[in-house]
Amino acid sequence: MSDEPGSDSGLAIRLGMRRIERREWWLWSSAVLVTLLLTLGLASFVVPILHQAGLETRVGEMTLGVRGLVGLVLLFDIYIVFQQLQIYRIRRRLLEREEVFRLITENAADMIAVVDGNGRRVYNSPAYQRLLGYSLEELQSTPALEQVHPDDRQLVQEAAAQARTEGIGRQIEYRMRHKNGTWRNLESTASAVLSSSGKVENLVIVNRDITDRRRLEEQFRQAQKMDAIGRLSGGIAHDFNNLLGVIIGYTEILQENTAEDDPDRSCVDEILRAGQRAASLTRQLLAFSRQQVLETKVLDLNDVISDMEKMLRRLIGEDIELNTVLDPALGNVRADQGQLEQVILNVAVNARDAMPHGGKFAITTANVIMGDAEIRRYSYPFRPGQYVLLTVSDTGTGMDSGTQARIFEPFYTTKEKGKGTGLGLATVYGIVKQSDGYIEVHSEVGAGTTFKIFLPIVEAHIEPESGQPALISSLQGQETILLAEDDDVLRVLARNMLVRFGYTVLEASNGEQACDLASKATGPIHLLLTDVVMPGMNGRELGERLERERPELKIVYMSGYTGQGVGQGVLPSGCNFIAKPFHRENLARKIREALETPSESVVSSEAPAEQKFLFKETQDEEAIDRR
């Protein structure tokens, strides 16, 4: 027997039907007994008469009459038995239908209610208790609109009135209060039950809880908005990066040709500083849009946090207590160390601003296994597996739900004008997503904020640091460089920079043209400086092709974002790379590092050689994780 509410009523109906059956069978048995007694009485009366004198002549007639009477009695008995059997069959069918109705109403996911013409509840299915927490007795003792949200009561009343007058219900959505005080979104449809005269006697109302669906729809809309903003900002940032590269490059040339005491030198310096600040903004936009270049390697997150601890204490101030709890058995992750440090710094800055009068700032790490049971509580796609969980929490002012819904949007900020760009947490979101991770936030007003960042554990070991890069004697050179860049303005700028450092430059606007120049060149080509994303043949394909033809060729890749041409590609391990926009001195230094390193090229002057540069745009299915 089911323990659900409503089972007792079904049991009572079945017991009542059985009592009726027993009563009817008793009446039938009584009727049979009476007919038998009558038959016996008739027989006892007729038999003596048959033996009396003078009646011999009427024996035949009496015998026929008695037989006819007995036959009628027996026929009556047979009819009673047949009638009872028919009634029994009908009753069994009714019980079966009652059982089907009970199973439907007690196990239906939707809430089913019957309301009479005066608005009183006639029936409530057990789903009300499962979904809203109210017992059937509590619902019966309260008016039908008692639990409806005050702002939605008029809508419900209008829909009910329309169903009563027109006999046709319409679908509406309204909020109903759960027993714990929260509000649930319901989708409701009313159907009218008409009497034989065509009047509405009752309304059958089917309510469906759509709270989770509405939340998922809102998250999906938010994810679409974030994805659209990301694509827009990434495209703008890429184009703006090229313009900034030109501005910064030619400003540096002006700065070099302008004496320190020249009245225009301060103007040139300000232009250069403004260009550098703009370049920083574009890097943050590219991070948010997941289109930046990641220099990934296997890391121990504990080491990253330990190295930053002293800087974090200076950053948050003496009135904020910093606590770190690091799991000594923490797994390794593959990520960009500089970007991970940026994530922690950005979250720390937000925590500091949320605690103007001091507080506590905590960083913890742990290994977690996200199985099917754990990921089921997330409304967005979450791949099961082993993760490193980085938890960063503060005891600051916290955030309301409206702020939490927008904190990862670029340029959204709750700080006063001039105190923030609104890109800090947007950058955090983009870095985590581009690192195949997940981020969620928990916060309450006055109760602080907690960020949880999940990064997948990798089985690879931490790669040893390579030796120091080759010492550069001079930034000048006389080698021949093949330059491949599809942006005309940037190509002219790069050529002018390289020529000023003494190099001979061969220019190409795409990969095919670069291959053609290389095949026609009679002298040696010492280095290829190529953009990664170009129409047709991309930078990596160009480098691999020319390396086969010229094994001694050194290659330096340059790019500002991943774009669509490379997709999920990975540049060769240990390759030389420089990010756009670049300063002329950095470009010259990178060229000399590549040319003067006899073995495999170093990645950069600050990073080890065995690094991979991931050019990655996170899959759209994970964009639903907007937290």
> What CATH number is attached to the domain comprising 512?
3.40.50.2300
The answer to whether residues 409 and 525 belong to one domain is no
Residue 24 pLDDT greater than 90, yes or no:
no
Burial of 38 (0-12, 13-18, 19+ CB in 10 A): middle
Q: 472: pLDDT confidence band, cut at 50, 70 and 90?
A: low
Helix pair 211-257, 488-500: axis angle to 10 deg: 40
Flag the least confident range among 140-154, 245-259, 543-557, 565-579: 565-579
The answer to whether residues 427 and 496 belong to one domain is no
Domain that holds residue 138: 111-209
Distance CA 336, CA 180 (A): 45
Residue 100 pLDDT greater than 70, yes or no:
yes
Residue 514 pLDDT greater than 70, yes or no:
yes
Average the pLDDT over 402-414 and give the result: 73
Q: Which residue has the higher pLDDT, 411 or 206?
A: 206
Write down which residue in 166, 183, 209 finishes a domain. Answer: 209
Task: List pLDDT tens digits, range 178-212.
Answer: 888 888 889 888 888 887 777 778 888 888 888 88
Distance CA 217, CA 224 (A): 10
Distance CA 494, CA 104 (A): 75
Q: Parallel, antiparallel, or unpaired: how do β-strands 576-579 and 612-614 relate?
A: unpaired
Task: Report pLDDT for 330.
Answer: 92
The answer to whether residues 51 and 80 belong to one domain is yes
Task: List pLDDT tens digits, range 556-579.
Answer: 998 765 443 333 345 666 678 887
Residue 505 pLDDT greater than 90, yes or no:
yes
DSSP at 148: B
472 assigned to some structural domain = no
Residue 204, both tokens: 């059958």
The answer to whether residues 192 and 69 belong to one domain is no
Residue 507 pLDDT greater than 80, yes or no:
yes
539 assigned to some structural domain = yes
Look at the block and give the residue holding tokens 């800055």: 349
Q: Which residue has the higher pLDDT, 475 or 546?
A: 546
Q: 464: pLDDT confidence band, cut at 50, 70 and 90?
A: low
The answer to whether residues 241 and 356 belong to one domain is yes
The answer to whether residues 284 and 174 belong to one domain is no
Distance CA 305, CA 216 (A): 35
Q: 29: pLDDT confidence band, cut at 50, 70 and 90?
A: confident
Task: Report pLDDT for 363.
Answer: 93
The answer to whether residues 292 and 348 belong to one domain is yes
The answer to whether residues 297 and 371 belong to one domain is yes
474 assigned to some structural domain = no
Average the pLDDT over 33-47 and give the result: 65
Closest to 333 measured CA to CA, from 366, 300, 295, 369: 300
Write down which residue in 87, 107, 127 finishes a domain. Answer: 107
Flag the least confident range among 66-75, 303-312, 341-350, 540-549: 66-75
Look at the block and give the residue holding tokens 């759960």: 178
Contacts of 99 (CB under 8 A, 6+ apart): 10
The answer to whether residues 286 and 394 belong to one domain is yes
The answer to whether residues 176 and 238 belong to one domain is no
Provide the total of helices (H) and of strands (E) in the chain, helices listed first: 17, 18
The residue type found at 82 is F
467 assigned to some structural domain = no
Average the pLDDT over 104-111 and give the result: 78
Give the bridge partners for 389, in sequence order: 366, 454
User: Domain holding 440: CATH number?
Assistant: 3.30.565.10
The answer to whether residues 89 and 128 belong to one domain is no
Q: Which range has highest mean pLDDT (273-287, 420-434, 482-496, 566-580)?
A: 482-496
Average the pLDDT over 385-410 and give the result: 85
Residue 236, both tokens: 């703008």
Contacts of 602 (CB under 8 A, 6+ apart): 466, 469, 470, 574, 576, 593, 609
Mean pLDDT of the chain: 76
| Rounded alpha-carbon distances, angstroms, from residue 233 to 229, 479, 627 | 6, 38, 19
Task: Report pLDDT for 373.
Answer: 77
Average the pLDDT over 439-459 and give the result: 90
Q: Which residue has the higher pLDDT, 123 or 303?
A: 303
- The size of the chain, in residues, is 627
Task: Report pLDDT for 625.
Answer: 35
Q: 98: pLDDT confidence band, cut at 50, 70 and 90?
A: confident
Write down which residue in 177, 192, 209 finishes a domain. Answer: 209
Task: Report pLDDT for 5.
Answer: 40
Average the pLDDT over 289-296 and give the result: 56
Q: Decide if 512 contacts 546 (C-beta within 8 A).
A: no
The answer to whether residues 115 and 94 belong to one domain is no
369 assigned to some structural domain = yes
Closest to 457 measured CA to CA, from 511, 515, 390: 390
Contacts of 57 (CB under 8 A, 6+ apart): none
Phi, psi of 538 (to 5 degrees): -85, 180
User: Domain holding 120: CATH number?
Assistant: 3.30.450.20
617 assigned to some structural domain = no
Average the pLDDT over 401-421 and give the result: 68
Q: Which helix (DSSP H) or strand (DSSP E) does residue 107 occupy?
A: helix 59-107
Domain total in the chain? 4
Average the pLDDT over 326-351 and give the result: 87
469 assigned to some structural domain = no
618 assigned to some structural domain = no
